[in-house]
Amino acid sequence: MYDFRNKVALVTGGSRGIGRAVSLALGKGGATVVVNYAGNEAAALETCSMIEAAGGRAEARRFDVADSAACQAAIDAIVSAHGGLHVLVNNAGIAIDGLLMRLKDADLERQLDVNLKAAFFLCRAVARPMMKQRGGSIVNLTSVVGEMGNGGQTAYAATKAGLIGFTKSLARELASRGVRANLVSPGFIDTDMTRDLPEDVRARMLEAIPLGRLGTADEVADAVAWLASDRSGYVTGELIRVNGGMYM
């Protein structure tokens, strides 16, 4: 467990899966966690209850991460209410699979909006308050697919690869003010989405993973929490892979 006492954190897509695990990890360390969600209020409130049951503090906040004005308003409101924002975890994301020749413009745009542009909007909004307080940690969630590619996921891979270049450039821009920006790149993780896959698909996935199993949301959250904490204070512009050796 890392020490996040007196820290305020925003986790996008924090109502379930990896986002929930990250929110819990930060909350257990003492952070006040703002759990962003798009539409499932019940799941977001459940995450908040879990954090509070573990001794942390939490609040749910609904806003569309693909809306620039909504992102700015949310950051302004959080900073005003809590006196600062110390950790930003850009976890929200979507995948709309399909071969490139069949990819609809709307599906491309939606993935760009949620997976890539949202990180631009939120990092831009949080840069000024973090620089003013001369400290902060931004952790962006990319994907093994963004590093190695995957058939049927050209748009998704492009957005996740874009996050890597964006984060490394951001790290250089903010470093002089003590603000760090890093990435975590999960592989195949045991979440609601992977649990619904057919058994033959899961079997092929496992064959590609040297450790021979899917990862857990908690294992991804541990990497995020370390990067968010002061324990990684000399780390910026880096990418941590949590993929069981699938891509090295």
Examine the residue annotation and report whether 156 is marked as an active-site residue of this protein.
yes
Nearest to 35 by CA among 56, 66, 6: 56
Q: Please report the sign of the dihedral spanned by the C-alpha atoms of residue 25, residue 31, residue 32, residue 38.
A: negative
- Give the HSE-up count for residue 148: Cα atoms under 13 Å, Cβ half-sphere: 15
CB 61 within 8 A of CB 11: no
**123/127 Cα distance (integer angstroms):** 6
**56/1 Cα distance (integer angstroms):** 13
CB 14 within 8 A of CB 44: yes
**Which one of the listed residues 2, 156, 234, 247 is annotated catalytic?**
156
Q: Which residue has the tokens 């467990």?
A: 1
Q: What is the CA radius of gyration of the chain?
A: 17
Nearest 5°: phi and psi at 34?
A: -95, 115
**220/242 Cα distance (integer angstroms):** 6
Residues catalogued as catalytic: 156
